[in-house]
Amino acid sequence: MRMKRPFKKPAVPPPDDIDRTRQDSEDFLWGINAVTEALLGNPRSLSEVLIQRGKAGPKFQEIIDRARAGNVRLRFVEGDRLGVPPHTKHQGVVARQSEAQLLQFDELLEGVAITAENPYPRILAVDSVQDPRNLGAILRSALAAGFTSVILTRERSVPLTGTVARTSAGAISHLRICQVVNLAASLKILQQNRFWVFGTVADPSAMSLYSVDFSLPLCLVVGSEGKGIRPLVQKQCDQLVTIPMQGSFNSLNASVAAAVTMFEINRRQAEKV
């Protein structure tokens, strides 16, 4: 007689935002006064501010106004989604401290000027990667491949948490990073400043990575696992490129695909300089 294995109900993972915040609760500060002082002193040290739904009053409005003025991501969530340990006296407001000092987009652009000494500056744009370990691995590879300027999406990207910093092996502190609300619009500005925009896709009809001439100022866009680059961002790209696969296999981890592409660009540009 064949014995049946006992049925085990699969564990249901917690929602993505709760899981991340609990893993990195050391990245938080909380309370009206603490968050207000951080926004007054150095808003670039914060990657996001979370306010409990239903909270109102002059002090909360000041925090909201200062977060918006400092281009700090702002979210309104239920009390059980603030991410801090239970019984924390958070007063309905929590801020996540960033592991990097974030730049404004125009500041990042100033640092990638096209010059005789640097004819092929390069920028990495990461579209909506929400896994902290994937983002950390991408940033680690970016630094190693010479992509020292990085654009992240503000609303759809994982914050720069301790997990991201640890997975990047410290690379995060050596990169020039900014967060933008509208990535497609930011890419258009780069194009107006003589940058070419290449998007990575898992599509065999796209141009092979090994057939593209990368000897020009460029921005490489990489997308999230599963969904890849969002359609509106893809439309803004000058050229979509893909990594040719052997046989019927057509999938790589997002951070691995990003690393392969960045190092190939680095190699091709080095041959031209």
Please report where in the chains the tokens 């652009």 appear, as a residue: 109
Domain segments of the chain as ranges: 20-97, 105-272
Tell me, rounded to whole angstroms, the distance of Cα 57 from its chain centroid.
Answer: 32
What integer pLDDT is reported at residue 22 of this predicted model?
45
DSSP 272: H
Count of residues making up the chain: 273
Nearest-angstrom CA–CA distance, 75 and 154? 11
What integer pLDDT is reported at residue 170 of this predicted model?
84
> In this model, does residue 6 exceed pLDDT 70?
no
- Global confidence as pTM: 0.77
CB 139: neighbour CB atoms within 10 A? 31
Q: What is the pLDDT of residues 202-251, one digit of tens each?
A: 888 899 999 999 999 999 999 988 789 999 999 999 999 999 987 666 67
Q: 20-97, what's its fold?
A: 60s Ribosomal Protein L30; Chain: A; (3.30.1330)
Q: Are 175 and 149 in contact (CB under 8 A)?
A: yes
User: Which CATH number is 105-272's, of 3.40.640.10, 3.40.50.620, 3.40.1280.10, 2.40.100.10?
Assistant: 3.40.1280.10
What integer pLDDT is reported at residue 12 of this predicted model?
41
> In this model, does residue 25 exceed pLDDT 90?
no
Mean pLDDT of 27-43: 86
What integer pLDDT is reported at residue 248 of this predicted model?
64
Strand pairing report for 176-180 and 149-153 = parallel
Q: Per mean pLDDT, which range of 14-23, 81-90, 95-104, 160-169 is the poorest?
A: 14-23
CA angle 126, 237, 199 (to 5 degrees): 45
Provide the token pair at 254. 């997002």
Q: What is the pLDDT of residues 176-199, one digit of tens each?
A: 999 999 999 999 999 999 999 999
